[in-house]
Amino acid sequence: MENGKIKTKAPSASPRRKAPARPKSLYSQDELKEIFRRFSIQRPEPKGELEHVNPFTLVVAVALSAQATDAGVNKATRALFAIADTPEKMLALGEEKVRDYIKTIGLYRNKAKNVIALSQMLVDRFGSEVPRTREELILLPGVGRKTANVVLSMAFGQATMAVDTHIFRIANRLLLAPGKTPDEVEDRLIRIIPDEYLYHAHHWLILHGRYCCKARKPECERCVIADLCRSPEKTCDVPAPLVELPAQLFGPTP
**Which residue in the list 9, 75, 100, 146 is annotated as catalytic?**
146
pLDDT at 103: 95
When the pLDDT of each residue in the chain is averaged and rounded to a whole number, the result is 89
Q: Is 146 a catalytic residue?
A: yes
Residue 227 has pLDDT above 90, yes or no: yes
Torsion on CA atoms 35, 8, 148, 183, rounded to nearest 10: 20
Report the pLDDT averaged over residues 221-250. 90
> In which band, very low, low, confident or very high, does the pLDDT at 4 lie, cut at 50, 70 and 90?
very low
> In which band, very low, low, confident or very high, does the pLDDT at 249 lie, cut at 50, 70 and 90?
low
- The CATH number for 55-156, chosen from 3.40.50.2000, 2.30.130.10, 2.130.10.10, 1.10.340.30, is 1.10.340.30
CATH code at 29-47+160-222: 1.10.1670.10
Percent residues over pLDDT 90 in the chain: 82
CB 151 within 8 A of CB 62: yes
Q: What are the pLDDT digits (tens) for 182-223?
A: 999 999 999 999 999 999 999 999 999 999 999 999 999 999
Residue type, 211: Y
The vertex-225 CA angle with 221 and 228, nearest 5°, equals 115
Domain ranges of the chain: 29-47+160-222, 55-156
Q: Rounded to the nearest 5°, which phi and psi values hold at 33? A: -65, -40
Torsion on CA atoms 18, 21, 27, 30, rounded to nearest 10: 80
CB 42 within 8 A of CB 245: yes
Residue type, 13: A
Hey, what long-range contacts does 22-26 have (CB within 8 A, 24 or more apart)? 22/191, 22/192, 23/177, 23/187, 23/188, 23/191, 23/192, 25/176, 25/177, 25/188, 25/192, 26/175, 26/176, 26/230
> Given CA atoms 233, 165, 25, 12 in this order, what sign does their dihedral have?
positive
pTM of this prediction exceeds 0.95: no
Q: What are the pLDDT digits (tens) for 19-36?
A: 444 446 789 999 999 999
Lowest mean pLDDT, pick from 17-31, 47-61, 168-182: 17-31
**Which residue in the list 9, 75, 111, 164 is annotated as catalytic?**
164
pLDDT at 109: 94
For 150-173, give the DSSP string: HHHHHHH--------HHHHHHHHH
Could you tell me which of 54, 121, 110 has the C-alpha nearest to residue 81?
54
Q: Is 164 a catalytic residue?
A: yes
Beta-carbon count within 10 A of 226 CB: 20
